[in-house]
A = this chain, B = another copy of it.
Amino acid sequence: MKKYLTEFIGTFFLVLTVGMTVINPDPGVIAPLAIGSALMIMVYAGGHVSGGHYNPAVTLAVWLRGRCPSSEVGPYMGSQIAGAFVAAILTLALKGDPTVTPMEMKVFPALIAELVGTFALAYVVLNTATAKATAGNSYYGLAIGFTVTVMAFAFGGISGGAFNPAVATGLTILHLAKAADLWVYLVANLAGGALAAAVFRFVNPEDK
Residues of A within 8 A of B (CB): 2, 5-6, 9, 13, 16-17, 20-21, 28-30, 32-34, 37-38, 40-42, 44-49, 90, 94, 109, 112-113, 116, 120, 123-124, 127-128, 131, 133-134, 137-143, 146-147, 149-150, 153-155, 158, 199, 202-204
Find out whether the CB atom of B17 lies under 8 angstroms from the CB atom of A150: yes
Number of copies: 4
Output the residue of A17, A47, A146, A154 with the most chain B CB within 10 A: A154
Chain B positions within 8 Å of A28 at CB level = 29
Find out whether the CB atom of B133 lies under 8 angstroms from the CB atom of A16: no
Contacts A94-B113, A109-B94 given; indicate if A41 touches B124 (C-beta within 8 A): yes
Contacts A142-B139, A143-B40, A153-B21 given; indicate if A48 touches B134 (C-beta within 8 A): yes
Cα A203 to Cα B7 in complex, Å, equals 12
Find out whether the CB atom of A154 lies under 8 angstroms from the CB atom of B21: yes
Find out whether the CB atom of B94 lies under 8 angstroms from the CB atom of A146: no
Find out whether the CB atom of B21 lies under 8 angstroms from the CB atom of A143: no
